[in-house]
Amino acid sequence: MKIAFITLTNGIPFGSCDLLFYKSAELALANGHKVFVSVFDWKEDHSPKYYTIELKGAILHKRKRYERIPNILLRNAEFIISKFQNSLKESKPLTIFNPDVICINNAGTYDIIGHPHLVEIIEKLNRPYIIISQYHDENYSLDKNWYIKAREFFQNSTFCVFVSERNRESARRVLALPLNNSIVLNNPANLTSHDYLSFPVRTQDNPVKMLSVARLEAKVKGQDIIISILGTDRWKDRNWIFEFWGSGPDLEWLKDLVSFYNLNNRVFFRGYSKNIGEIWKDAEILLLCSTGEGKPLALTEAMFCGRPSIVTDVGGNAELITDGISGFVAEAPSINAFSAAMERAWQMKSKWELIGKNANNSINNQFITQPEEKLFEILLKAGNS
């Protein structure tokens, strides 16, 4: 069978939202199928993972990636030009490959609609296609033209895959569709082991270490809210340190914000690390003040490591966390709501080890350990339909 994977992740060369389709592509190659992988071209920053899968036998197609231009007139002109230029350039490799089934990996639920030339190619090929939705903003609405196109495109899909039940329900509301052809499937965890990681021994003199593991993009991950709460007198009087793990466009602003609140000796930026176990070895709790989510891998990984988390009630967070039992859930991504959740958690810090164990038990009971196998199964079923 010939399987085409198209990913629309544009914020970073390769992220956690690419793991599901990527591992399914590897599985398809290992089972003797022909694989086509279409990604944005990041030039010298291109992810080595895509060169690896190319070496394994996949056809790698790199599409031109456009940076956001500040001038709106130039941006509109580039969009019009690129629409016509890209239509032929991007359709040819996929048309030549002539897939039996297509898998579209959306970072945001409706990203594909923003690429009308790709929609046109997929519709002209008239092959079964699967849509993966990694993220859904619950306050998002579509304008009339996007709504009409998105509704049609989702209706005609063979399967839709969402990473959380909440995201599926939000998409049903936005599209006014039952989406009976949809399933919920988690992303693979970026861990070599799902075993519980011993909780750090806390002493009276050592500060409590708290973490945020997320892309440094505050409008989505809410790091600015966390910093502003930690900058209050109440929190400055407590014994803690905080580490941000990750990279992203808001690094310099967040560093300035830390300086503004005089937290330079307590809040640190550690960059990106692949070693999740090492990150959590001496840290006690995760903070995620997200404005929207799918089902964040940072939360999943913290739970596997046996650490409690403070999260917002968006995406699949509350599907994983029971407030006060396996973590703490803020009602909204606001300063007041997240501050209240942080306060509840701090007052219960003597129980964090127990809550972390509850989190580990909970995620082990809920998590599909090899979701790529289920996606591969869906692709084969669609391709044979």
State the Cα–Cα distance between residues 31 and 97, nearest whole angstrom: 18
State the Cα–Cα distance between residues 328 and 91, nearest whole angstrom: 47
pLDDT on residue 310: 98
Predicted confidence band at 69 (pLDDT cuts at 50, 70, 90)? Answer: very low
Q: Which amino acid is at 244?
A: F
Task: Show the tokens assigned to 362.
Answer: 């909970």
pLDDT on residue 88: 57
Q: How far lies 364's CA from each of 306, 361, 370, in Å?
A: 11, 5, 12
CB within 8 A of 72, min separation 6: which ones? Answer: none
Mean pLDDT in residue range 260-266: 98
CB hemisphere CA count around 63 (13 angstroms)? 29
pLDDT at residue 67 tops 80: no
- Collapsing DSSP to helix, strand or coil, 104 comes out as strand
Predicted confidence band at 80 (pLDDT cuts at 50, 70, 90)? Answer: low
State the Cα–Cα distance between residues 200 and 220, nearest whole angstrom: 30
Nearest by Cα to 317 from 222, 384, 244: 222
Q: How far lies 108's CA from each of 134, 138, 220, 315, in Å?
A: 6, 11, 12, 12
Q: Which domains does the chain have, with CATH numbers?
A: 2-187+370-383 (3.40.50.2000), 208-366 (3.40.50.2000)
Condensed to tens digits (0 to 9), the pLDDT of residues 316-372 reads 999 999 999 999 999 999 999 999 999 999 999 999 999 999 999 999 999 988 999
pLDDT at residue 66 tops 90: no
pLDDT on residue 316: 94
Predicted confidence band at 262 (pLDDT cuts at 50, 70, 90)? Answer: very high
What pTM was computed for the model?
Answer: 0.88
- Look-up of token digits 């639920």: 109
